[in-house]
Chain A
Amino acid sequence: MARFYSTLKSGVSSIFGPVLNVASKPVSALGGVFDSYVNLVGVKKENEKLYEKYEKLYVQNQKLVETERENERLRKLLGFIQKKPNTMIAAGVIGEDLKNWFRCIIIDKGRKQNVREKMPVVTPKGIVGQVVEVDLWHAKVMVLNDTNSSIDVNVEGKNTRGLLEGTGQNTVKLKYVIKNDDIEIGDKLVTSGKDGIYPKGIPAGIVITANKNKAGIFADIDVMPYNNFRQLDEVLLIKK
C-alpha cells in the first residue's frame, strides 16, 4: 500500500516538474519589471512622456543591475564548482513549499539528472540543506531552517561541537553545547561531517546569541545561517 502510494505520488509529482519549470520562467522574468513598476505608480499626467522614457530607462537599468548581480553569482558558483570538478550538480530554484509550516525549496533537477535523496545542497556562501524527495524532473530540498532539520557542526577553530536544529524561523538553534564549552557571539560554525550527510568543513552559520545563564547544563545559542533561503536562485548539489 505504502509503495503504491509512493508510486502514485511520484507520478503526480513528476507531472509538476515541467509545469513548474515553465511557470517559473515568466514569473522570474516579471519579478524585476513588477518591482520597478510599483515604484512608478502615481506620477502626474503632464509628465507622461518623461515618465515613459524614465520607465524604459529604469527597467533597462534594473535589468542591467540584475544581470550584473547574476553574473557575479554565477562566477562565484563556477569558481566553487571548479575547485571540485565532477562532484557537484548545479540546479535552479523553481519554487517554494506550498505550506509555510515547512522550509522546503523545489529545484529543477531530478532523478533524470542523477539527483538522489540525502544529497547535501550548498552555495558558495555555505550549507542550504539536503534533498528529501526526488521526482523525475525536480527535487525537494529541506532547508536547514526547517523544524525537521539537524546538522552536526563544529565551532571553527575551537573544540566545541553541537547540533544545529531548525526552528521554522530565520534563525536556527545550536543545541547540546555545554555551558563550559568555548563559544561566543561571532563564532563561525562549520559542518563536522559526523552526521553522514554533510561533508566536513562547509560553513553553516554564525553565532548571534549565546545565553549561558539559563537553567540546565546546555547553553541557549541562536545562529544565523549564511544563506537566506528566500533569496536563493541557484544551488549546488554535492554528489556522494
Chain B
Amino acid sequence: MKTFVYIIIGILLLVLETVISPYISLDVLRPELGMPIVLYITFFLGPRSGLVAAIVIGLVEESLSGAPNGSLLFVSVFIYLIAVAMRRKFFVESKYSFAYLSSASVLMQSFLFLALSFFARGETRGALNILFYTVPNAIVTGFVSILLFSFIEYLNDSFPERNQ
C-alpha cells in the first residue's frame, strides 16, 4: 500500500513539474523528483518495492521527456541496483543524509546518461550541456529531497497502521 502511495506521489510530482515548467522558468533550478522516491522506497520498503518504483518512475520520466527510448529507464534501474548494494552499508538516519543520497543519485544519473549516450550511440554531442546542469540539479534536488523526506515521514506518522 505504502509503495503504491509513494509511487503515485512521485508520478504526481513529475507531472506537476512538467506542467509548471513553461510558466515558472526552472532552467537551472530543476529538481529531480523521481530519484528520491525510488531511493526512499528501496531503502525503507525493500528491494522488491524499489524495483517496481524504479521501473514505473523510469518509464514515467521517459514519457515526459525527449530522452531516447530506454535511456532513463536504464538509468533509473541502474541507480536502484546501486541503492540495493548500498542498503546495508549506508545508513539513512535523517533527512540530511537522505538529501546527500538524493544529490549523489542525480550526479550518478547524469554520468550514467552520458556514458550510455557515449557507448550506445557513440556520440558526445550535448555532453557539455548535461555536465553544465549536473551540479545545480544535484544541489536543488538535495534541498527538495529534505522537504520530500519530511513529507513522507509526516505521512508515515499520520498513517502508522498502514503496512507495506
Contacts and interface: CB of A to CB of B under 8 A. Distances in A.
Contact of B126 (A12, A95, A101): A101
A106 interface: yes
B142 to A, nearest CB: 16
A101 B125 contact: no
Contact of B63 (A16, A142, A169): A16
Nearest to A232: B22
B61 A98 contact: yes
Interface residues of A, number: 42
A19 B18 CA distance: 11
Among A23, A100, A101: residue with most chain B CB under 10 A: A101
A98 B22 CA distance: 11
Interface residues of B, number: 37
A82 interface: no
A105 B22 contact: yes
A105 B23 CA distance: 12
A96 B15 contact: no
Interface stretch (B42-50, B65-73, B76-84, B153-161): B65-73
Contacts of A12: 59-60, 62-63
B24 to A, nearest CB: 8
Among B26, B28, B65: residue with most chain A CB under 10 A: B65
Chain A, interface SS category: mixed
Nearest to B30: A100
Contacts of A106: 18, 64
Interface stretch (B85-93, B94-102, B128-136, B143-151): B128-136
Nearest to A14: B63
14 contacts: A12-B59, A12-B63, A19-B15, A27-B16, A28-B23, A95-B21, A98-B14, A98-B64, A100-B30, A103-B66, A104-B65, A140-B66, A146-B66, A168-B129
Nearest 6 pairs of A and B residues by beta carbon: A168-B129, A104-B66, A147-B126, A96-B21, A95-B18, A13-B63
Interface of B: 14-23, 25-28, 30, 59-67, 69-70, 72, 110, 113, 125-126, 128-130, 132-133, 137
Interface of A: 2, 5-6, 8-9, 12-13, 16, 19-20, 23-24, 27-28, 31, 93-106, 132-133, 135, 140, 142, 146-148, 167-169, 230, 232
